[in-house]
Chain A
Amino acid sequence: KAGVTQTPRYLIKTRGQQVTLSCSPISGHRSVSWYQQTPGQGLQFLFEYFSETQRNKGNFPGRFSGRQFSNSRSEMNVSTLELGDSALYLCASSFLDSFTDTQYFGPGTRLTVL
């Protein structure tokens, strides 16, 4: 079965702009989580969506938001971009619960903020 896909793969934005990233989970998976990866920080959990509802949230400012559609596809939005938002953004899908089920990661979206 097809893996997790993320679009776009690369993105360049300037400070103050906003950006929307997209994630399509593995078919049948209902949980989608988003992570930010920066050098030296590892993967930092942003939020998890299940059945179109945000179920868990990490420690990120309100500029980071997301949503999930009825087909489990998810989008992540970052408003008022800052230089420090430059990172690899990964989404992962799991069957029911990202905290206890195996997560399958997409290849990521590399965001560069100039």
Chain B
Amino acid sequence: DQQVKQNSPSLSVQEGRISILNCDYTNSMFDYFLWYKKYPAEGPTFLISISSIKDKNEDGRFTVFLNKSAKHLSLHIVPSQPGDSAVYFCAASGGNDMRFGAGTRLTVKP
């Protein structure tokens, strides 16, 4: 069962515009959420996280929003840069479980 879903397998945006990547989860025990970025031939690298006591966390160009009632989180990248082109995974943990989404491939066009 897919307890963490990223419904968009791919996203293409223009350089300088906003990229919004979405993630939905079903398990109400999840209380910690993370985003990872993965380039080809490399392991995922941590990007940003948020705990369930917050609804927003910001780090430079990256902001993660959490809507607990909707069991939805999103990652905003502003402004998007060509170097941001990668696969982005959301992850959720809690209740002795950790799940990842299937990933969204972001392409930022110059």
Docked Cα-Cα span, A42 to B90, in Å, equals 10
Whether A90 lies near B93 (C-beta < 8 A) is no
What is the interface of chain B mostly: helix, strand, loop, or mixed? strand
Interface string of B76-94 (1 = CB under 8 A from A): 0000000000000101011
Q: In the complex, how many angstroms separate the beta carbon of A66 from the nearest chain B beta carbon?
A: 16
Docked Cα-Cα span, A13 to B46, in Å, equals 31
Docked Cα-Cα span, A100 to B32, in Å, equals 7
Q: In the complex, how many angstroms separate the beta carbon of A94 from the nearest chain B beta carbon?
A: 10
Q: Per a CB cutoff under 8 Å, which of B34, B42, B98 touches A45?
A: B98
CB contact list, A62-114 vs B, under 8 A? 90, 92, 98-100, 102-108
Q: In the complex, how many angstroms separate the beta carbon of B30 from the nearest chain A beta carbon?
A: 10
Whether B43 lies near A92 (C-beta < 8 A) is yes
Docked Cα-Cα span, A56 to B43, in Å, equals 21
Interface string of B31-70 (1 = CB under 8 A from A): 0101010000111111001000000000000000000000
Q: Per a CB cutoff under 8 Å, which of A35, A41, A44, A102 touches B46?
A: A102
Whether B43 lies near A42 (C-beta < 8 A) is no
CB contact list, A30-48 vs B, under 8 A? 33, 35, 40-45
Q: List 25 A-B contacts (CB under 8 A).
A: A4-B43, A33-B98, A41-B102, A42-B4, A42-B89, A42-B100, A42-B101, A42-B103, A43-B44, A45-B97, A45-B98, A45-B99, A45-B100, A99-B32, A99-B93, A99-B97, A100-B32, A100-B93, A102-B49, A103-B46, A104-B46, A105-B43, A105-B45, A106-B43, A108-B43
What 13 new A-B contacts, CB under 8 Å, besides A42-B89, A99-B98? A40-B102, A42-B100, A42-B101, A43-B44, A45-B97, A56-B96, A92-B43, A99-B32, A102-B34, A102-B49, A104-B46, A107-B42, A107-B43
A residues apposed to B, CB below 8 Å: 4, 33, 35, 40-45, 56, 90, 92, 98-100, 102-108
